[in-house]
Amino acid sequence: MFKEKVLSTCQKFNLIPPGSKLLVALSGGPDSVALLNVLLELRGELQLSSLAAVHVNHQLRGAESERDERFVKELCGQLGVPLFTERVTVNPKGKGVEAAARQERYRVFDRVLRLWKGDYVALGHTASDLAETVLLNLAKGTGIRGLRGFLPKRDRYVRPLFEVTRREVEEYLELKGLPYIVDSSNLSTDFERNLIRIEVVPRLRRLNPRFEESVLRLTSTLRGIEFFLNSQVEALLERFTAGGHFCAPLEELLKLPEVLQGELLIGAVKRLTGKGLSFRKVEKCLELIKKGSFARYSLGNGLTFVVDAGRACILPEQEGLKPFEFRVTDLPAEIETPSGVLRFSLNRGYPLIPLKKFKGQGIIVRNRKPGDRVDLGRHTRPLKKLLNEAKVPVLERDGLPVVEFGGRVLYVPFVSLPRRELPQPFVGVEFEERKSSDSPAGD
């Protein structure tokens, strides 16, 4: 029954295509020993071209670690299975012993698989491990990915024991008379996973003796939901992501279910950096989307979340624009600014000043300053209010050029200015907005 169940799992999830070279992760514990033996039994049905094992000695348990390595060497010798062994030094700095050991272990798996020119690494995780993972994630706080737990197949890693329980593993080992070793650290509830396995799961089995099967059904449903959400997210990312940033209209975002909004933000960060986004940061971003007013929030990993001008954007963190100032003394003149090009010429564009005044002093082009007021003829108004009325995005304001003459601000692009009539010859200005070739869809 055990063999048939493992074969069914391999076929259902297409874990191991025919002709594969399969590397088995072998710790020497019950799960990995059962995995190695059942794969040997299924070698023909799975049409494996080669089968080997890999053991990582973390050197964390002294004599026990040495015993484990000796055991797997003897076992593989008896079974006629090629074995790769490697010793590693675990540095738990900043991540804990378990996480650091896992990182080293997978580093070895990847390297050996590459050198051996193998196709997949088979891991001994069972349905019982899945249940423990789900419970642990639930206890710490998680979303859909945490609740569905690990996958039967991820890249080049496969889990043929995905649908069998630890009890079924033990029964198989007893039936076959296979030896295995017990890691003494697995008996200590000082480790989170051990606490779940030793104290929590047995109580849940009292409520439901087939608890692991219930978890398998739940995670199967969640994988389907995740697949659907991912398809929706990918379609939205194609629309709203370009040139290293993500921008989406608030109006469209607010029409989406909140869970999809959150998944979209997570997907955007993943696409831009390859990294995840914490639940706390997702919640903060969703809160800012609901408010809709200007906001800026650091996401870490070099990204900033910004709500501005009716859009929600994830942008690379950048240093503030450096102050700029130019003096125009000759005509025609062309001045490059962060937001576009100003062209000054004779008797053309928006009239600024008579030519005779220009010859004496010239014109200054600079970025805005606190307290700037725009000369509207008979009165002045704060530049900030005029920019607000023009709905110029806050993030774009520091790059706008301000045209000043004699201490008076005469022209700012996009701002509503009074019609000014000047007799010729006069100095006029025209503005050409910079069009970014990588402006994101949805702008």
Q: Annotated binding site for ATP: which residue ranges?
A: 27-32
Q: Which residues are annotated as a binding site?
A: 27-32
Contact 144, 225 (CB under 8 A): yes
3-state secondary structure of 62: coil
Q: The dihedral of CA 2, 8, 13, 19: what is its sign? A: positive
Contact 47, 145 (CB under 8 A): no
- Angstrom distance (rounded) from CA 54 to CA 85: 6
Q: Which of 68, 212, 192, 50 is nearest to 131 (CA)?
A: 212
Contact 429, 403 (CB under 8 A): yes
Place of tokens 């900030």: 384
- Angstrom distance (rounded) from CA 292 to CA 295: 8
Task: Phi first, then psi: give them for residue 426, nearest 5 degrees.
Answer: -135, 165
- Angstrom distance (rounded) from CA 443 to CA 440: 6
Q: Name the token pair of 72.
A: 């797997």
Q: Name the token pair of 209.
A: 């003796």
Buried-state track 270-308, b at ≥16 Cβ within 10 A, e below 16:
eebbeeebeeebbeebbebbeeeeebeeebeeebbbbbb
H or E, element range at 295 = strand 295-300
3-state secondary structure of 22: strand
- Angstrom distance (rounded) from CA 57 to CA 145: 30
Residue 247: strand pairing partners: 313
- By DSSP bridging, strand 241-242 and strand 373-375 are unpaired
- Angstrom distance (rounded) from CA 416 to CA 390: 7
